[in-house]
């Protein structure tokens, strides 16, 4: 069905988006590469001399670098785990016949609509604050010492906040997938005497694999550059325990307007992100096609 | 004849053009005084119908990011910027600010408090006009001190503070002897700890720009801080900045609070504070080494040199930092809400002194602060609670993180000092100090 | 499922669903409630759910302090503009990738998605300099461009997976009836794909509405959307929880309302090729 005419037309149709994205990617990328080999600090206009790989060396030998690298992986992995497990559970639940389905749905979807800065502030001040927060009040109510979330469990606190934001997204996609499940297959399994658990594991889960793949892919893209939540709550600390690569770039370079250093960090982040992407594609890429 | 006519028409048109409104964009911080200024700005517009004001109000850190990026790249988005005593020396030196030499005859520039004026001038040229000034002081609960049988001297020592904190703490009743900043940031815990360290005899760098975190003075400072906070401070202190501590003090949970003088107005405000009538004030503590632990900060209005509307901007700045403005605020909102810490005349005004019980301590604190000689031993930098170099934002915050970790117990004091020493050394090496 | 649709199971599931969704929604509910409290009430040691003096003072304060409607209009123009512009570019791209499969299609898609991986903090200064030079700083157009480009990969991908589900037979039938390419797209494809297009549009409006990095960096007074409005309440001096709640409610409610009316669309359209 792909005639030569439609092939050419197809190329023409593709042209705007591809060229725009190319420009969007190439131009800043080139500028960033260029700046990364300069000694360029916005606050100290000088000759911006060429210093080769010094910026990279500085960024990579930072004692915080290894820790932020692992924090980034933990952050992404943790949120993915919670949102996918929670999402599947929610999707199954929402698929059932219930009263007031519209209301339930909008309540589940709501966190996705809230701005990340607002979510972080609400969680920080109203819930996790060890003196005035609701969790603290609850702990006192049941007679335990309240947990100081951002001091004792900084990374976990951020994971909780971000998972809350992304859970609706995962639940939504997985709900759609469940709703497309072929009921006949399930009924056939019923006749074969399968219990609800084995039906879930052998029929529902495999069907969801494509949707899960989609969720993983999209969430990973966004989760690698989590920034606002960290800025507003822990500022990467205590120490470096809740700093991820994006935040490290910010504190190392942008905070002091070291454009050279920040650019080097940005390039490193791109390389890491692409490695993660290739890895992901190897792992689950087959699920996308077919 | 035709030529004359066209000349007349041309001049008439240009008069019209001049009468059109000029818009200036003002970037400010979202604190109470600036918000008041914004709400009163209609007065300015009435007096100057040819100037329109547009406002950008942001939280401090975001504002600093944007304004700095703009001024350094000559983005030209702002005509008036709100910057602090940290930026002015650095930017003034770079030539990024327009000298304020057109503030008007009745501005009375000698009325500005000397410490603040010197912090805003480079080579005796004024580059920013102070809108509000602050130092730091001790705020304490008069009732709790009485209960503990202690009397707070006007100029306490750090060892007295420790004693008082111990006496006032009653953790079961939810009362903590002392509340101090713990949130990491160069303008948060580092502002407090650096000023504290000055009074312990410490400094950030010696004359050769070598970091001094391996000195005994710094060790004393940090050990005192961690010890006092652990034993007499509230839980979750490592996330507490100014706002959180204010909330704690206002709800009666703190026996003492050492922080910005501007808090005086908040804690004695009956509408928001449960302990409004039980607050006393004292100077920031010292150790008898000659420097007290109080800082100096002012929010100021400046004009980036990339702005093309210098005249209009200067008119606005002159209005907003004038004596007339203080009277305007007093009229509309009462004397206690007049922006403090900029002019001597304010502190000679009886009505103000009566409405603000913290006024005298504020004035004394500001006058005793000397940004050009902040420490016991000589230093190559200016700044009391900060070091006025561009790298400070980054290294200040990073060190703040280490100190915050020491507060939560994740690291020992020694570890925090060691890692601070290392990271500052690294950063200074990269920035190629000494220059 | 094996459990029959009895009233009993419906009740159990309803209770379960309402409790879970209630817990998820609770932080937002709490924010809404706090926005009606006074500042001292908002931080009180014994917080209450309903028993307090309800007040509108926070809303009054927020409205008098900031030009809410200017920010609101900016958010609307930027989000809608970016999403519509994005659709204009993405639909042709998705069409050609879906219906004219080549070996490189999959790689192209992956490359598009990878452009999103460059962390914004790294390119902050280059983009700022570019915008300054082109006079795009603090303009709605500038932001529309950035928002479009940021989300273009996602839009292309969503549309691509949706288009791929449309059976070729329908298009072939149209072609046999003598329809040209233009008619094929406008009269046959688009009507069928409307749900997918609608949900792509919606998702992008939401993503652009909440984007809090570029919208803060590249705007000043004129083009600042609601994200900047919120940023002026994030941590001022003094108590602010109640005011922040009021501001947050005002920033979030429009998009919540949009979500309420379009939830069916969202659910239907976000299939990502999982529909058989």
Same domain, C82 and C135: yes
Looking at the predicted complex, does its ipTM rise above 0.90? no
Chain B's closest residue to C124, CA to CA, is B69
Q: Are B252 and B142 in contact (CB under 8 A)?
A: no
Burial of A271 per CB tally in 10 Å (0-12, 13-18, 19+): exposed
**Selected residue of A10, A203, A217, A223 to mutate for chain C interface (largest C Cβ count, 10 A):** A10
Let me know how long chain C is. Answer: 276
What residues have CB less than 8 Å from A282, skipping those under 6 apart? none
Question: In C, residues 11-40, which contact A (CB 8 Å cutoff)?
Answer: 13-14, 16-18, 20-22, 24-25, 27-28, 30-31, 34
Give the homologous superfamily in CATH for domain B136-295+368-430. Answer: Periplasmic binding protein-like II (3.40.190.10)
**Selection from B129, B130, B239, B198 nearest residue B371 by Cα:** B198
**C231, A16: Cβ pair inside 8 Å?**
no
**Selection from A220, A278, A216 nearest residue A73 by Cα:** A220
Same domain, C140 and C29: no
Same domain, C202 and C155: yes
Q: What is the pLDDT of residues A40-77, one digit of tens each?
A: 877 777 767 787 788 888 888 888 888 889 999 999 99
**What residues in A contact C129, CB-CB < 8 Å?**
31
Question: CA C237, C241, C243, C247: dihedral to nearest 10 degrees?
Answer: 110
A121-135, B337-351, C189-203, range with greatest mean pLDDT = B337-351
Same domain, C54 and C98: no
How confident is the model at residue C269, as a pLDDT?
65
Is residue C274 one of the residues assigned to a domain? no
Tell me the average pLDDT across C219-246: 76
Confidence band of A154 (pLDDT split at 50, 70, 90) = confident
**A238, B184: Cβ pair inside 8 Å?**
yes
Give me the number of domains chain C comprises: 2
Q: Which of A41, A251, A257 sits opposite B398 (nearest CB)?
A: A251
Instruction: For chain A, give every domain's residue range.
Output: 54-287
Q: Which two tokens stand for residue B391?
A: 């790298």
Is the CB of residue B31 less than 8 Å away from at least one CB of chain C?
A: yes
Vertex B397: Cα angle to A118 and B245 (nearest 5): 60
B110 vs A200 pLDDT, higher one: B110
Confidence band of A1 (pLDDT split at 50, 70, 90) = very low
* A214/chain C closest Cα distance in angstroms: 7
What residues have CB less than 8 Å from B121, skipping those under 6 apart? B92, B127
**C228, B32: Cβ pair inside 8 Å?**
no
pLDDT above 70: residue A130: no
Q: What is the pLDDT of residues A80-115, one digit of tens each?
A: 999 999 998 888 888 877 788 878 888 888 888 888
How confident is the model at residue A78, as a pLDDT?
94
CATH number at residue C185: 1.10.3720.10
Which stretches of chain B drop beneath a pLDDT of 70?
1-20
Chain B's closest residue to A124, CA to CA, is B239
Same domain, C76 and C43: no
Supply the range of the domain harboring residue C76.
Answer: 66-269
The CATH code of domain B22-131+297-355 reads 3.40.190.10
Tell me the pTM: 0.82
How confident is the model at residue B6, as a pLDDT?
56
Chain B's closest residue to A234, CA to CA, is B239
Inter-chain Cβ pairs, chain B and chain C, closer than 8 A: 94
Look at residues C18, C44, C59 and tell me which one is the last residue of a structural domain: C59
How confident is the model at residue A260, as a pLDDT?
83
Same domain, C44 and C161: no
**Selected residue of C236, C240, C241 to mutate for chain B interface (largest B Cβ count, 10 A):** C236
Instruction: For chain B, give every domain's residue range.
Output: 22-131+297-355, 136-295+368-430
Report the mean per-residue pLDDT for chain C: 78
How confident is the model at residue B17, as a pLDDT?
44
Q: Which residue has the tokens 């950035």?
A: C146
**What residues in B contact C220, CB-CB < 8 Å?**
25, 27, 56, 66, 77-78
Confidence band of C274 (pLDDT split at 50, 70, 90) = very low
Same domain, C47 and C95: no
pLDDT above 80: residue C97: no
Q: What percent of chain C has pLDDT over 90?
A: 5
Q: What is the pLDDT of residues C31-62, one digit of tens each?
A: 888 888 877 666 665 666 776 778 888 888 88
Same domain, C199 and C251: yes
φ, ψ dihedrals at A176, nearest 5°: -60, -40
A238 vs C144 pLDDT, higher one: C144
**B235, A41: Cβ pair inside 8 Å?**
no
Is residue C276 one of the residues assigned to a domain? no
How confident is the model at residue A211, as a pLDDT?
81
How confident is the model at residue A271, as a pLDDT?
85
* CA dist., res. A126 & res. A120, Å (int): 10
**A132, B430: Cβ pair inside 8 Å?**
no
| Domain A54-287 belongs in CATH node 1.25.10.10 | no
Q: Are C263 and A103 in contact (CB under 8 A)?
A: no
* A205/chain C closest Cα distance in angstroms: 12
**Chains meeting B at 3+ CB pairs closer than 8 A?**
A, C
Is the CB of residue B234 less than 8 Å away from at least one CB of chain A?
A: yes
Q: Which of A42, A177, A221 sits opposite C117 (nearest CB)?
A: A221
Lowest-pLDDT choice from B82-96, C25-39, C186-200, C241-255: C186-200
Q: Which two tokens stand for residue B251?
A: 């709800």
Report the mean per-residue pLDDT for chain A: 80
CA diameter of chain C:
74
Is residue C123 one of the residues assigned to a domain? yes
**What residues in A contact C1, CB-CB < 8 Å?**
186, 196, 199
**What residues in C contact A177, CB-CB < 8 Å?**
271-272, 274-275
pLDDT above 50: residue A177: yes
**C40, B38: Cβ pair inside 8 Å?**
no
How confident is the model at residue C272, as a pLDDT?
54
pLDDT above 90: residue A13: no
Same domain, C138 and C24: no
What residues have CB less than 8 Å from A40, skipping those under 6 apart? A48, A258, A259, A260, A263
* C230/chain A closest Cα distance in angstroms: 8
Same domain, C146 and C18: no
Q: Which two tokens stand for residue C96?
A: 């050609």
Confidence band of C276 (pLDDT split at 50, 70, 90) = very low
How confident is the model at residue B16, as a pLDDT?
44
Rounded-to-5 percentages of helix, strand, coil across chain B: 50, 15, 35
**Selection from B407, B399, B29 nearest residue B239 by Cα:** B407
* CA dist., res. A243 & res. A231, Å (int): 10
């Amino acid at each position: 069905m792909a005639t030569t005419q439609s092939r050419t037309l197809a190329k023409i149709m593709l042209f705007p988006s591809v060229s725009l994205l190319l420009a969007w990617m190439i131009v800043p990328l080139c500028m960033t590469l260029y700046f990364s080999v300069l000694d360029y600090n916005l606050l100290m206009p000088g000759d911006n001399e060429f210093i080769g790989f010094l910026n990279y060396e500085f960024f990579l030998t930072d004692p915080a670098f290894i820790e932020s690298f692992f924090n980034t992986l933990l952050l992404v992995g943790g949120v993915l785990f919670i949102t996918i497990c929670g999402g599947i559970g929610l999707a199954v639940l929402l698929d059932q016949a219930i009263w007031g389905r519209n209301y339930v749905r909008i309540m589940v979807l709501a966190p996705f609509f809230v701005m990340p800065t607002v979510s972080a502030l609400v969680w920080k001040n109203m819930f996790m604050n060890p003196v005035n927060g609701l969790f603290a009040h609850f702990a006192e109510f049941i007679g335990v010492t309240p947990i100081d979330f951002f001091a004792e469990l900084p990374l976990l606190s951020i994971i909780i906040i971000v998972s809350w934001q992304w859970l609706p997204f995962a639940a939504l996609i997985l709900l759609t997938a469940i709703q497309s499940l072929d009921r006949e297959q399930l009924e056939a399994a019923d006749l074969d005497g399968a219990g609800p658990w084995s039906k879930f594991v052998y029929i529902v889960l495999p069907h969801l694999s494509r949707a899960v793949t989609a969720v993983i892919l999209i969430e990973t893209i966004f989760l690698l550059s989590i920034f606002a939540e960290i800025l507003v709550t822990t500022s990467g600390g205590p120490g470096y325990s809740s700093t991820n690569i994006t935040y490290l770039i910010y504190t190392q370079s942008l905070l002091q307007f070291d454009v050279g250093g920040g650019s080097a960090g940005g390039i490193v982040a791109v390389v890491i992100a692409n490695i993660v992407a290739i890895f992901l594609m190897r792992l689950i890429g087959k699920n996308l096609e077919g | 004849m035709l030529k004359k006519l066209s000349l007349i028409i041309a001049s008439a048109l240009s008069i019209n053009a001049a009468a059109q409104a000029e818009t200036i964009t003002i970037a400010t911080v979202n604190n109470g005084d600036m918000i008041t200024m914004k709400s009163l700005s209609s007065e300015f517009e009435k007096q100057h119908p040819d100037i329109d004001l547009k406002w950008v109000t942001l939280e401090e850190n975001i504002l600093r990011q944007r304004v700095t990026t703009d001024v350094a790249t000559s983005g030209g988005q702002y005509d008036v910027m709100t910057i602090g005593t940290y930026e002015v020396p650095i930017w003034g030196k770079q030539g990024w600010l327009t000298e304020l030499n057109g503030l008007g005859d009745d501005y009375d520039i000698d009325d500005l408090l000397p410490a603040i004026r010197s912090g805003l001038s480079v080579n005796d040229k004024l580059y920013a006009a102070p809108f509000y000034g602050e130092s730091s002081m001790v705020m304490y609960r008069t009732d709790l001190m009485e209960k503990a049988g202690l009397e707070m001297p006007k100029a306490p020592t750090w060892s007295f503070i420790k004693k008082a904190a111990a006496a006032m703490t009653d953790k079961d009743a939810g009362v903590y002897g002392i509340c101090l900043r713990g949130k990491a940031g160069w303008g948060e815990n580092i502002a407090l700890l650096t000023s504290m360290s000055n009074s312990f005899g410490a400094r950030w760098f010696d004359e050769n720009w070598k970091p001094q975190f391996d000195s005994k003075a710094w060790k004393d400072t940090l050990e005192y801080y961690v010890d006092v906070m652990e034993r007499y401070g509230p839980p979750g202190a490592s996330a507490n900045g100014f706002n959180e501590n204010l909330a704690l003090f206002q709800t009666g949970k703190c026996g003492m609070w050492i922080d910005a003088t501007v808090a005086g107005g908040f804690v004695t405000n009956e509408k928001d504070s449960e302990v409004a009538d039980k607050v006393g004030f004292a100077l920031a503590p010292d150790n008898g080494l000659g420097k007290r632990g109080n800082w100096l900060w002012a929010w100021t209005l400046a004009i980036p040199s990339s702005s093309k509307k210098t005249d209009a901007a200067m008119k606005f700045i002159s209005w907003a930092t004038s004596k007339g403005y203080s009277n305007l605020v007093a009229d509309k909102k009462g004397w206690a809400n007049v922006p403090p810490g900029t002019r001597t005349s304010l502190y000679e005004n009886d009505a103000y002194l009566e409405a603000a019980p913290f006024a005298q301590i504020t004035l004394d604190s500001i006058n005793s602060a000397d940004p050009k000689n902040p420490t016991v031993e000589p230093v190559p930098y200016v700044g009391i609670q900060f070091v006025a170099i561009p790298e400070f934002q980054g290294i200040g915050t990073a060190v703040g993180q280490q100190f915050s970790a020491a507060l939560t117990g994740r690291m020992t004091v020694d570890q925090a000092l060691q890692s601070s020493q290392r990271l500052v050394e690294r950063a200074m090496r990269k920035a190629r100090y000494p220059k | 499922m094996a459990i029959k649709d009895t009233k009993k199971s419906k009740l159990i599931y309803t209770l379960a669903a309402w409790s879970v969704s209630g817990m998820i929604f609770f932080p937002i509910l709490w924010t809404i409630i706090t926005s009606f409290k006074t500042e001292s009430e908002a931080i009180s040691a014994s917080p209450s759910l309903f028993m307090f003096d309800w007040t509108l003072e926070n809303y009054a304060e927020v409205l008098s302090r900031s030009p809410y409607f200017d920010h609101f209009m900016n958010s609307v123009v930027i989000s809608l503009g970016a999403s519509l512009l994005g659709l204009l570019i993405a639909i042709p791209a998705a069409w050609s990738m879906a219906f004219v499969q080549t070996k490189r299609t999959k790689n192209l898609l992956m490359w598009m998605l990878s452009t999103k991986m460059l962390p914004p903090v790294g390119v902050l200064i280059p983009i700022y300099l570019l915008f300054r030079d082109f006079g795009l700083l603090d303009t709605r157009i500038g932001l529309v461009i950035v928002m479009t480009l940021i989300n273009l990969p996602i839009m292309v991908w969503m549309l691509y997976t949706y288009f791929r589900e449309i059976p070729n037979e329908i298009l072939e039938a149209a072609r046999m009836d003598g329809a040209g390419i233009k008619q094929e797209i406008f009269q046959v494809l688009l009507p069928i794909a409307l749900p997918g297009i609608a949900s792509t549009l919606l998702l992008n409006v939401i993503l652009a509405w909440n984007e809090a990095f570029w919208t803060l960096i590249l705007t000043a007074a004129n083009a600042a959307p609601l994200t900047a409005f919120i940023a002026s309440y994030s941590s001022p001096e003094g108590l602010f929880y109640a005011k922040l709640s009021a501001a947050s409610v005002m920033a979030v409610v429009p998009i919540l309302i949009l979500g309420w009316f379009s939830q069916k669309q969202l659910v239907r359209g976000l299939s990502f090729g999982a529909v058989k």
